[in-house]
Amino acid sequence: MDKTQEEIYMFLFRVWKIEATSNKIGIIKDKENFLKEIQFLISKIKETIEKSEKKEKVIQRIQEKTLENILYMVKDFYDIRSEKILKLCRSLQKIDELILFPVEQDYYKQLFAAFKGDSKTKKFLLASIENNHSIPNKIIDEKGISHNKIDQINSNSIEIVESNELAIIEENTEIKTNQRVKKNKDIEYILIRFTKNIPALVGKDLKIYGPFQKEDIVHLPTQNASILIEEEAAIKINPES
């Protein structure tokens, strides 16, 4: 990856890892540009894969793994945020919609309305049972809003979460690991020596390695090293020899 692509990848990596290590919903100041940069990165990698099909197989396989890692982080990033939104809505905690991506705003409003309606329904139902009243077919709150139309509530009624409940993600934000994100102990590493020049690659551990020059010696995740060895771009080194 050239410098621009590497910077985009590393920012995505930080964004993903911070989202996974914090209980708060992360803030990305320029959400639209962030998504455009990811699209650019993916398109450039696909372009490299297509070009390498007619040239070096090793480059193609390295880029395919890089693309796989990027798509994994993007999906997991959204999955984590969705879980946080769901958790906050379940406890009827309100979120500043400005910190959410547009697609998340609709998801949040629908969830919050549903849980708010469910909470009031339970209260009315329990009160009716306890006081031996007739069970209502629908619940009308103090403002006369029917909860079978709760999704029509104006979003302006949603309050703002205090700033100390937000995790702001900047380009230079430091990552503090916790129990949610740990070093993958299942990843094994082997020592290899390169037999040809190879561009930078993204390891199974999502770290960037390289670029490499012929005769460079490095520890790489076994999965990545195996590809290089199979394509005769590197040879395994036995540390005991």
In a domain, 181, yes or no: no
pLDDT value at residue 153:
30
What is the residue range of 196's domain? 189-236
End-to-end CA distance of the chain: 34
Q: What are phi and psi of 234, to 5 degrees?
A: -160, 165
Q: What is the CATH number of the domain that holds 231?
A: 3.40.5.50
What is the tens place of the pLDDT at every residue in 57-90? Answer: 888 999 999 999 999 999 999 999 999 999 999 9
Does residue 201 share a domain with residue 150?
no
pLDDT digits (tens, 9 = 90+) for 168-224: 444 444 444 444 444 455 789 999 999 999 988 999 888 899 899 999 999 999 999
Query: What's the predicted TM-score (pTM) here?
Result: 0.68
Q: What share of the chain is helix, strand, coil (3-state, %, to 5)?
A: 55, 10, 35
Helix (H, G, I), strand (E, B) or coil at 129: helix
The count of structural domains within the chain is 2
Residues 194 and 102 both lie in one domain: no
Is residue 217 domain-shared with residue 139, that is, in the same domain?
no
Residue 39 belongs to some domain of the structure: yes
Token pair 């395919």: residue: 64
Q: What is the CATH number of the domain that holds 29?
A: 1.20.58.1030
The answer to the question of residue 203 being in a domain is yes
Residues 62, 147 within the same domain = yes
* 120 and 42 housed in the same domain: yes
Is 108 within a domain?
yes
Q: Check whether residue 31 and residue 106 sit in a common domain.
A: yes
